[in-house]
Amino acid sequence: MLEKEAAPLISHAPGDIASLRATIQGRVTTSNDPDYNRLRSVWNGMIDRRPALIVSCASVSDVRTALAFARAHHLTVAVRGGGHSVAGFGTCDDGVVIDLSPLKAINVDPDARLVHAGGGVTWGELDAATQAHGLATPGGVFSRTGIAGLTLGGGYGWLRSSFGLACDNLMQAEVVLADGRVVIAGTGPEQDAELLWGLRGSGGNFGIVTQFTYKLHPVGRDVYFVFVVHDGEGEATERTLRFFRDFCDAAPAAVNPLAVCGIVPADPALFPVETHGRRYVILGALYAGSIDEGKRVLRPLVDMAEPLADFSGVMPYVDVQRLWDADYPDGMRYYWKSLNLIRLDDDVIRQIAGWACKQPSAKSTTDLWFVAGVSRRSAPETSAFYGRESAVLLGLEANWMDPAEDEPNIRWAREFTDAMQPYSDGSRYLNFAGLHEEGERMVSAAFGPAYERLVLLKRRYDPANVFHLNQNISPNGNTE
């Protein structure tokens, strides 16, 4: 295995904050700093933590120094990429936030069809760089999340059926380990293939990734995209979901589908006034192929009924990726759960429709991520990610404004999840896992047969569990 810088730094950790400041290229922020409140805040308004230090790292050396400082002073370590962890893992109370947001370098190699990107890059930044060449790697469906947390956790997006999850396209990673060594996870000579397998889906358990290398695909700058808002009142949600399931079952891998159930917002610029407050089912699909073929193949999704609104058409891929940005502002309250459903028969659809319409907040949604194409076929030996045999990943997004409404919104997501358990193997997507209050038992179920192998990897690279603010795999393998 290649170790780019061999000497552990712990014995060289700067003794105090002044010497830490003098040592690093980036920035050290404490509660005395006027920027402290801005820098400590993360996307989810439910999370309000006060770290002792925020170290914004401008280089790999900064990351090693910050980590050594935290370890030498026995401080909790939180690692922050894009700061969009739903559970709030990118911050902590009293510890050190290792903030990678200054690591923004992006290098596209169009000939090799690869992109190298720093650990603080967001999907919007990465897509802008790769789309300059008409290329893309699968991300999510929102442009402001970090590439880091999304990729390490799996990564469901608009290209997953055609090209796999984000983690499937991770070819190489530069990683700062808990002891300060820097290694390259990859399948090349002198690279650590087992670490790459673990990084593909099991979160930030093994180290801090300072650079990600992804495979790129010729997506083109414009794509054909269906985003049609059908009525979901009464029986219509069930009917529409049954139609979409049958459509997806027969669809080629060029079709990348997502269904979302919710309530039409009172926005006259987007929706006719008479539709405001009605239940909807959005049928969404990106066609990764020719525009004409996309129009033909996806047409039935629009024609199945008279829509409430239809935003389908040819559009730049980067606009597809930004479509939902305005709906998820920083500081709102969010509690998201998920469950892998092993089947999606009419009975399961009836249950989903029944629970979806009980949402206490008009901003909440029930999302059906169909697991199909390449995301389904990728071999378990190549990644730690589990859940590919499911019919659908059910995502329950409780989104609301008022802290006084926490209880009913959280209860809806929890009770909905519990009600769907009989249709699941108990696994879920750990990037949508509430506030991780279910702990290690949930984590072990989420990895299925890969869990024991992950515990061994954790023992090898992080036996002291320095990186525990994540979908944590205990080095002891505890599930209690």
3-class DSSP state of 257: strand
The length of the chain in residues reads 480
43 touches ligand FAD by CB under 6 A: yes
Name, in order, each residue with C-beta under 8 angstroms of 285's C-beta and a sequence gap of 6 or more: 225, 226, 251, 255, 256, 257, 258, 298, 301
Asked if residue 467 lies in contact with residue 206, where contact means CB atoms within 8 angstroms, the answer is yes
Binding mask 311-330 for ligand FAD (x = CB under 6 A): -----------------x--
Q: Does residue 379 come out as left (phi exceeding 0), alpha (psi in the -120 to 50 range) or beta? A: beta
User: What single-letter DSSP state applies at residue 69?
Assistant: H
CB of 307 to ligand FAD, least distance (A): 23
The nearer residue to ligand FAD, 223 or 308, going by C-beta atoms, is 223
Helix (H) or strand (E) holding 27: strand 27-29
Contact segment (CB under 6 A) with ligand FAD among 109-117, 201-209, 415-423, 447-455 equals: 201-209
395 touches ligand FAD by CB under 6 A: no
Find the binder of ligand FAD among 26, 124, 149, 434 (CB under 6 A): 149
Closest CA to 159 of 288, 283, 258: 288
CB of 99 to ligand FAD, least distance (A): 9
204 touches ligand FAD by CB under 6 A: yes
Q: How far apart are CA 218 and CA 177, in angstroms?
A: 34
258 touches ligand FAD by CB under 6 A: no
Find the binder of ligand FAD among 51, 95, 155, 164 (CB under 6 A): 155
3-class DSSP state of 247: helix
CB of 285 to ligand FAD, least distance (A): 15
Find the binder of ligand FAD among 153, 232, 284, 448 (CB under 6 A): 153
Alpha carbon 4 to its chain centroid, in Å, reads: 29
**Can you name the residues that pair with 337 across neighbouring β-strands?**
396
CB of 62 to ligand FAD, least distance (A): 13
The nearer residue to ligand FAD, 230 or 468, going by C-beta atoms, is 468
Asked if residue 462 lies in contact with residue 205, where contact means CB atoms within 8 angstroms, the answer is yes
**Can you name the residues that pair with 191 across neighbouring β-strands?**
none
Binding mask 428-447 for ligand FAD (x = CB under 6 A): ---x----------------
CB of 208 to ligand FAD, least distance (A): 5
Contact segment (CB under 6 A) with ligand FAD among 50-58, 155-163, 382-390, 400-408 equals: 155-163
Show the DSSP H helices in 101-231 as ranges.
Answer: 123-131, 147-153, 160-163, 193-199
359 touches ligand FAD by CB under 6 A: no
3-class DSSP state of 262: strand
Distances 149 to 57, 208, 246, 420 between C-alpha atoms, Å: 17, 11, 32, 26
CB of 393 to ligand FAD, least distance (A): 9
The nearer residue to ligand FAD, 100 or 183, going by C-beta atoms, is 100
Contact segment (CB under 6 A) with ligand FAD among 181-189, 202-210, 222-230, 353-361 equals: 202-210
The nearer residue to ligand FAD, 243 or 447, going by C-beta atoms, is 447
Q: How far apart are CA 352 and CA 396, in angstroms?
A: 10
Interaction site with ligand FAD (CB under 6 A): 43, 79-86, 89-90, 100, 119, 140-142, 145-146, 148-150, 152-157, 203-204, 208-209, 328, 431, 469-470
